[in-house]
Amino acid sequence: MDISLWRTLDAAANRASEGLRVLEDFVRYGQNDKFLTSELKSLRHQLDSTLQQFDRRASIHARDTFGDVGTTVQGKLEQARGNWADLLTANFKRLQQALRSLEEHAKLIDGEAAAALEQARYRTYSLEKMVMTTITASTMFAAGAVYVLIDGCESEAKLKALAAKLIEAETDVIQLRDKTLDDRTLVARAQLLRQQTAGTSTKLIINDRPDIARIVSADGVHVGQEELTVAQARMVLGPSKLVGVSTHNIDQARQAVRDGADYIGIGPTFPSGTKSFDHFPGLDFLREVADEITLPAFAIGGIELTNVSQVAAAGIHRVAVSGCVNQASDPQQVVVTLKKQLAI
């Protein structure tokens, strides 16, 4: 076989492995994200076993680094990356291009290996989505973030007064969660919240209803395990809005990361006065998430000033609460105190 083909395969394989290592090092050492590290590692192993099918000896002998006309041709930006996102994007692109080159050249010698390389390339597209979403969302919801679920209240005036206090306390997210109001009233209450939160640091999320989130231009929607999927919610809301997902075990949490959710709700942690449950994944689940996932995770269910320290001790520094804020005589004070307890 033509030595130039082996030379190309060797160069493309090296490029793919190097790009993959940069990405793995970033999520491992830079992010401490065990789950993303294991996803990238599993792709690396898949790639290694495909590449082992090629004749490594032939590749090595075909290598001619000093004779490579490309080593001295440097793009303007090759030595400089503006930020982490640029660095990650550049390395995902390097990986994808190398895999495409490997795939096309492998077609000349081994159809099965070419098909495996195509599958590996598809995996990189999903991984890119998972890594980039995690990085963006982690900067959006800092440690200490407090997320408050409120209903539509008895009247617009009451809702307005409550929302004003929450915004004043720099609540990170207000979720409108109301299962009883008719749609038109719900839209009107959501619109009110949109007007109040616009231009503030408080995001507005609508529970269950991407349609209403879209109508009022909310910042996003929260969906449960039996509701629309992340992809379906995005079809309604568009790519730039936030989609959060409820998770009750580690597999669901991992799946939410794979699906490209912007954050997860994790719980129920403790018995809740707002919603009843017969199963509590509790603090053990929080610890599992803290151990391996860096996508923002909000512990939910029965969290109050008296037990929030247990949440923080489990390694989770973001909470979603309802009763402890809504029933407080001073909701602002509760939000501020929660934030202090969660800050690291």
Ligand X SMILES: Cc1ncc(COP(=O)(O)OP(=O)(O)O)c(N)n1
Q: Give contact residues for Mg ion (rule: CB under 5 A).
A: 208, 224
Which residue, 10 or 262, is less far from ligand X as judged by CB?
Answer: 262
Nearer residue to ligand TZP within complex by CB, 210 or 265? 265
Cα–Cα distance, 213 to 216 (Å, whole number): 6
Question: Is residue 275 a contact point for ligand TZP (CB under 6 A)?
Answer: yes
Structural contact between residues 271 and 292, judged by C-beta atoms closer than 8 angstroms: no
**What is the C-alpha separation between 213 and 220, in angstroms, rounded?**
6
Nearer to Mg ion, 33 or 208 (CB): 208
The answer on whether 30 is annotated among ligand-binding residues is no
# residues contacting ligand X (CB under 6 A): 16
Nearer to ligand TZP, 91 or 272 (CB): 272
Q: Select 131 or 299, whichever has its Cβ closest to ligand X.
A: 299
Query: And the tokens for 118?
Result: 């195509």
Q: Which run of H or of E encompasses 278?
A: none
The annotation status of 44 as a binding-site residue, yes or no, is: no
Is 208 marked within a binding site?
A: yes
Residue 28 touching ligand TZP (CB under 6 A): no
Strands 263-266 and 242-247 turn out to be: parallel
Contacts to ligand TZP from residues 280-319, by CB under 6 A: 300-303
Supply the minimum distance, in Å, between the C-beta of residue 225 and ligand TZP: 11
Locus of tokens 């080593």: 71
The interface partner of residue 321, options being ligand X, Mg ion, ligand TZP, none and the CB cut-off 5 to 8 Å by kind, is ligand TZP
Task: Report in angstroms how near the CB of residue 248 gets to ligand TZP at its nearest.
Answer: 9
Per DSSP, the residues of 106-136 read: HTTT-HHHHHHHHHHHHHHHHHHHHHHHHHH
Amino acid present at 63: R
- Strand runs (DSSP E) across the chain, as ranges? 146-150, 173-176, 203-207, 220-223, 242-247, 263-266, 297-300, 319-321
Binder to ligand X among 26, 270, 285, 298 (CB under 6 A)? 298
Look at residue 9 and give the partner it binds from ligand TZP, Mg ion, ligand X, none, a contact being a CB closer than 5 to 8 Å depending on partner kind: none
Non-local CB neighbours of 179 within 8 Å, separated by 6+ positions? 208
Q: Does 234 bind ligand X (CB under 6 A)?
A: no
Whole-number Å distance between alpha carbons of 127 and 145: 26
Taking CB under 6 A as the rule, does residue 322 contact ligand TZP? yes
**Smaller CB distance to ligand X: residue 244 or 260?**
244
Residue 107 near residue 100 (C-beta atoms within 8 A): no
Residues 234-273 that bind ligand TZP (CB under 6 A): 267-268, 272-273
**Residue 244 interacts with which of ligand TZP, ligand X, Mg ion, none, CB < 5 to 8 Å by class:** ligand X
- Member of 147, 233, 293, 294 binding ligand X (CB under 6 A): 147
Q: Which is nearer to ligand X, 19 or 301 (CB)?
A: 301
Read off the amino acid at residue 101: S
Whether residue 274 is annotated as binding a ligand: the answer is: yes
Task: Give yes or no for residue 177 binding ligand X (CB under 6 A).
Answer: yes
From the list ligand TZP, Mg ion, ligand X, none, pick the one residue 298 interacts with, judged by a Cβ distance below 5 to 8 Å according to partner type. Answer: ligand X
Is residue 208 involved in binding ligand X (CB under 6 A)? yes
Q: Binding of ligand X at residue 207 (CB under 6 A)?
A: yes
Q: Is 177 annotated as a binding residue?
A: yes
Binding site for Mg(2+): what residues are annotated? Answer: 208, 227
Q: Residues in the site for ligand X, rule: CB under 6 A?
A: 147, 149, 175, 177, 207-208, 222, 224, 227, 244, 246, 265, 275, 298, 300, 320
